[in-house]
Amino acid sequence: MGDYLEALGLVFQWHVLLVIGAGTLLGLIMGALPGLTAAMAIALLLPLTFGMPPVMGMGMLLGTLCGAIAGGSVSATLLNIPGTPSSVATTLDAFPMARRGEAGRALGICIVASFIGGIFSAVVLSLLAPPIADFALRFGPAEYFALSVFGLVIIASVSSKSLIKGLVAGLIGLLIATVGTDPVAGVQRYTFNNLSLLTGVNLLPALIGLFAVSQVLKDVVDYFSGGPVEHSKNKMDHARPRWMETLRHWKVLASSSVIGTIVGAIPGAGGSIGSFLSYDQAKKMSKTPEKFGTGHPEGIVASESSNNALVGGALIPMLTLGIPGEAATAVLMGGLMIQGISPGPTLFTDNGSIIYGIFIAFFVANIFMLLIQWFGIQLFVKVLQVPRKLLMALILMFCVIGVYAVDADIFNVYLMLGFGVLGYFLNRYDFGTAPVILGLILGPIAESNIRRALLLSGGDWSVLVTRPISLTFLLVSAAFLFFTLWQNRRQTTPHS
């Protein structure tokens, strides 16, 4: 208790609050720009924190992280361009809604759902971090494999128009994921002696290419073919947070926040699949699953509450075990260590006030995220009033800069352009691009873990079914697969 009071004192000083707010704002801006990831935003601000007290510095970086995730959803909603991989699922419903002229409503739902997801994960982080970290440790290679199979089943659910086409797109993703150094034997596969491909196809250029560049290409083609360039609807609805509408979907909010927090806490599970899992879950529970993908509020609520809950979840193994699950938390952990604090079990006993200060700062960051978006929403929707011609040119410029900045590698820019062309054709012929991303993220996790599991079992496949967590995921995957097939049939039969 004493630690908590001391921690409150560490956070509630005007300059600490100011710095957290500034971090959140910067994160929002960088997250909204395609190509700039949360990890890059944090790495950029990291040197500023060296001179600060630990809670102040971490507060700023946590604000940046929350802001970046929230900002990623703004561009996902307005432009169909997910700023971060975890907002890919947001594009599925938020963008169609915005296209209908309800951009204000879509963003309003995003803001409220993000806030609730973030606060939920903050509560879990402060109360349940150690037991959840212990649960996360029970994930060995076999469990990770089963989890990624579970994730791959979602492909069936996010392929809106045709199941077969969705699966084809997913397989394209899996195929591309085989490029790079074999994770266990170290043999090079399809790298053509290109150093940039040694560690496989970089996810960010693929993401930006498939979503942003393909969208730009589509608009360019529409423009020159004299077709109807989709003008931003001038009828702009009122842009404000939609509290009641979001809270009405409380079941989706609750289940998605839980899924987001837990998937976030499992290090290396490919955090971004959390929002897909929630989306899939919401669709299965929904009375109107056919509306998903057409601008349905439940879809936005699911994805948004989940991707902000991921943040708090990801902090759990980092703070309690010293294990960062993905890039952004790895940079955060670096920041802590440079401050002279090693995360891990001893953090709670040695630096109680600091860790509680970090918890409180995370709450504060989420509140700032809400406030900034509350006031900013009017400004965000103005983006749609920029003539589409100019907007597309600007977007392409940011994409090139952002993707180049990842590794200062021009090859990534070519890769992005290649994926842009691929994405254009996939969208044009209704294959969809979300399944490709799922395949790309989950392919390497599935492959390397099944091989590790078999190395450990001496080639005995039964490890997959003798371990309870693994067996559960595989059984649920099978059940979901049949459920999706049945749901699809039920939907299509009356029409045909």
For another protein, the binding residues (CB under 8 A) are: 39-40, 42-43, 46-47, 50, 136-141, 181-186, 188, 195-196, 198-199, 202, 267-268, 317, 321-324, 327, 330-334, 337-347, 407-409, 448, 452, 455-456
124: nearest Cα among 269, 289, 305: 305
Of residues 330 and 476, the one with the C-beta less far from another protein: 330
CB of 216 to another protein, least distance (A): 26
Could you tell me the CA-to-CA distances from 431 to 156, 256, 462 in Å, in that order? 12, 26, 35
User: By C-beta, is 190 or 486 nearer to another protein?
Assistant: 190
Please give the span between the terminal C-alpha atoms of the chain, in angstroms, as a whole number.
Answer: 64
By the 8 A CB rule, do 307 and 324 touch?
no
Spatial distance between the Cα atoms of 125 and 59, rounded to a whole number of angstroms: 15
Whole-angstrom distance, CA of residue 179 vs CA of residue 414: 16
Maximum Cα interatomic distance, the chain, rounded to a whole number of Å: 69
Q: Are 442 and 270 in contact (CB under 8 A)?
A: yes
Nearer to another protein, 346 or 385 (CB): 346
Instruction: Round to whole Å and give the CA distance between 146 and 269.
Output: 11
Tell me, what amino acid is at 436? V
3-state helix, strand, coil in the chain (%, to 5): 80, 0, 20
* In the complex, minimum distance from the CB of residue 39 to another protein, in angstroms, rounded to a whole number: 6
Q: What SS3 class is residue 181?
A: strand
Q: How far is the CB of 358 from another protein (least distance, A)?
A: 15
What is the nearest approach in angstroms of another protein to the Cβ of residue 349?
10
Tell me the C-alpha to C-alpha distance, in Å, between residue 485 and each of 281, 473, 476, 482: 15, 18, 14, 5
Which residue number, 117 or 200, has a Cβ lying nearer to another protein? 200
CB 196 to another protein: min, Å: 6
Say which amino acid occupies 9.
Answer: G
Nearest distance in Å: CB 241, another protein: 33
Nearer to another protein, 132 or 384 (CB): 132
Nearer to another protein, 101 or 344 (CB): 344
Q: Please state, in angstroms and rounded to a whole number, the distance separating the CA atoms of residues 394 and 371.
A: 27
What is the identity of the amino acid at 231? H
* Minimal distance, residue 6 CB to another protein, in Å: 21
- Separation of alpha carbons 291 and 92, rounded Å: 11
Closest approach of another protein to the CB of residue 87, in Å: 21
Nearer to another protein, 262 or 391 (CB): 262
Contacts 24+ apart (CB under 8 A), 42-48: 42/68, 42/328, 42/331, 42/332, 42/335, 43/331, 46/331, 46/334, 46/335, 46/338
CB of 60 to another protein, least distance (A): 15
Given the complex with another protein, which of 58 and 106 has the nearer CB atom?
Answer: 58
Cβ nearer to another protein, comparing 123 with 327:
327
